[in-house]
Amino acid sequence: MEKRRVVITGLGTLNPLGKTVEEYFNALDNGVSGAGPITRFDASEFVTKFACEVKDFDPLQYIDRKEARKMDLYCQFAVVASDQAIADAALDLEKIDKSRVGVIIGSGVGGIETMTAEVSDFVNNGNKPRFNPFLIPKMIADIAAGFVSIKYGFMGPNFATVSACASSSHAIHSAYDMILLDEADMIITGGAEAAITIPGVGGFNSAKALSTRNDDPKTASRPFDKDRDGFVLGEGAGILVLEEYEHAKARGAKIYAELKGSGISADAYHITAPHPEGLGARAAMTIALKRAGVKPEEVDYINVHGTSTHLGDIAELKAIKDVFGDAVYNINISSTKSMTGHLLGAAGVIEAMACIHAINSGIIPPTINHFTDDPEIDPKLNLTFNKAQKRDVKIALTNTFGFGGHNSTMILARVED
């Protein structure tokens, strides 16, 4: 049986760089930082007082007030990004077979803002058990997929993936496999996160994972820089419409790129630290290349996980060099987390979108905030420091890794008939 092909026909996002795909891509091209002081709560007593927030978001501009009250912020982000992607894909909802359309949306922590508020109210009200009747559906990580499915009547595969920072990449991986297996013709997929909360910032501070560069937030995310001191917490959502190639052609869909292959693996090493030799990352990339039928020398761009932590950045580059050998020196590499911050469960999808943009625009987004070379990093690598670079990109690879040792790699390509 001829292998089915999977393409991307719709994009949607709101993230620290913009509330539309166009705003996001423009900010990437221009090396804009989304970091600034935290406005969501009083962070004056916190070790880290800044983050990459979605700016000026009013859910009532997009969602009916009654429905918005039933949603945590992460779910509101997911619904808005899904609306954008579905509109971008120009779906005729009267003609498509909705039983063949699924929704798979990942989130690392789900409704943490809702849970925080409800527990706080419980304590402040003298431990009286008065809870919002929507507490449970607002909190659970799968409800975003449920809302989108209900809104549009999509009755295909419907669930969430939860694998920390790899959540949206695993959602896309699952969607890809289901389309290949003919379990769906189209899946709305990606991830959403809204963890800029008291426990979110406090917890990551206690783990010493966040940058504490409070004097200059916009330069705090410094992947591969000698003086990097942790990641910057971000938030938002990204959604892709994945579609079987012949199905997309038959309806005359605009096609952004093809998802050629994906690979997943585990470090089986530590709950928060990466394997020091990058073994899990290496396995995910190797599997993805094999599934895609792509040789290492055919890859033009790698969007790395690149969180701006000392251990993570070094381990990932070691894994990349192991997989790509001498071909690595002909590849552009960059970390867009230097601009967006780390969107946790939504990181993988917006970084896949950065790859799609590079394929369609011929512009490699930069790794901004590079000031001092790290002697542990090979100076011959092209890490696309500080300014975007022009390049014809036919094939791009993106990595996403999560606490617990979860690894995911996707390979995206220009569509060739």
The catalytic residues are: 165, 305, 342
**Bridge partner list, 18:** 15
Residue 150: how many other CB atoms lie within 10 Å? 11
Distance, C-alpha 16 to centroid of its chain: 12
Selection from 126, 344, 357, 105 nearest residue 242 by Cα: 105
CB 186 within 8 A of CB 102: yes
Cα angle, residue 169 at apex, residues 21 and 40 outer, rounded to 5°: 60
Closest CA to 191 of 159, 169, 168: 168
Q: CA 391 to CA 416: how far, in whole Å?
A: 18
- Alpha-carbon distances of 342 from 176, 193, 230, 292, rounded to whole Å: 24, 10, 10, 27
Separation CA 99–CA 110 (nearest Å) = 26
Q: What are the percentages of helix, strand and coil residues in the chain, rounded to 5?
A: 35, 20, 40
Residue 121 and residue 113: Cα distance in Å, rounded? Answer: 12
Smallest Cα–Cα separation from 106: which of 343, 378, 367? Answer: 343
